[in-house]
Amino acid sequence: MDVVWCVVIVMLLIVTVSYVTRSSGVVDIRRTGSWAVVTGATDGIGKSFSHELAKLGMNVVLVSRNMVKLQTCAAVIEESYGVATAIVQADFTSLDKKMYARIREELADLDVGVLVNNVGMNLIHPEYFHVLDERHDDTFQNFINCNITSTVNMTRFVLSGMVERRRGLIVNVSSVFSQIPAPFFGVYSATKSFVDKFTNDLALEYKTFGIHVHLLRTGFVATKLSDMKRILGFVPDPDTYGRSALRETARRRDCDGYFGHWLTRMGILAMWAVVPSLAESAWKLVMSKSRDKRISKCEKCLGEKSVPITASPW
């Protein structure tokens, strides 16, 4: 067992050096265009991204479903950073063609330099796949609509303009669960794997047009919805993560956005490669305990009123 852990430590040291030294080339965000578009912009990571982009002097289009929050966030950004904002109300669990047509029209005349496809949905607790169909029968379609369709549509809405201008940065927010085994999160993880593949292929497809398509693979962040507390170096608050993630996505085509998230992912993958049976048992136990703890907050599972799909903590 000592040999196993030595191998794991050596592997982590090697990949740490690789992480510190590798870069895809720094993108000067200020030169991509005058407007940034952020989906899921009124809470958590999306809100932090909106503020960080405004700090760079970019005007920001805030896209979210809550009009009151949109108006509040827009006012704060305009007052704090002296930039312009636009707000677009949209519920991405919907496939409403009129909604998407309205979004496309709102963006048509803007010099969009940055798109952050941040919006994402997940259940409030881990769950067995077969039980989801019994207690949360709208889950599967909501995952696809919000995690996949929104990313594809928002990307195609801004891409033609970026091609014409020969510049732009698209950041697609994925999850660590797209790479590590994730029992009780199978459907959610699969939608994020789609985001990974979609992003990496577009990155190669549009590189010659001067357009950067980057993947941000988030880990655990201490948001209200994640129900997690900050752990120094590993579970940051949204503002800390947003600052780090924007810096990282500007210089890496595929990143975790935060060193602690990357280190956690590498550690889990290393354990799975070296001691798969132990890693499998330990990880499933962690997820199972998380399910037991958080399911008590699910009113639908307790036979009461419906629990809405919530923004993903991962």
Any idea what the Cα angle at residue 244 is, between residues 93 and 225, rounded to 5°? 35
Tokens 């049976």 belong to 277
Is 19 assigned a catalytic role?
no
User: Is residue 241 a contact partner of residue 221, using CB atoms and an 8 Å limit?
Assistant: yes
The SS3 of residue 285 is helix
Candidate list 81, 100, 128, 188, residue with the active-site label: 188
Q: Is the dihedral of CA 38, 43, 45, 48 positive or negative?
A: positive
The SS3 of residue 191 is helix
- Cα–Cα distances (Å) from 47 to 40, 75, 177, 211, in that order, read 7, 13, 22, 24
Phi, psi at residue 312, to the nearest 5°?
A: -70, 135
Any idea what the Cα angle at residue 91 is, between residues 248 and 75, rounded to 5°? 65
As annotated, the active-site residues are 188
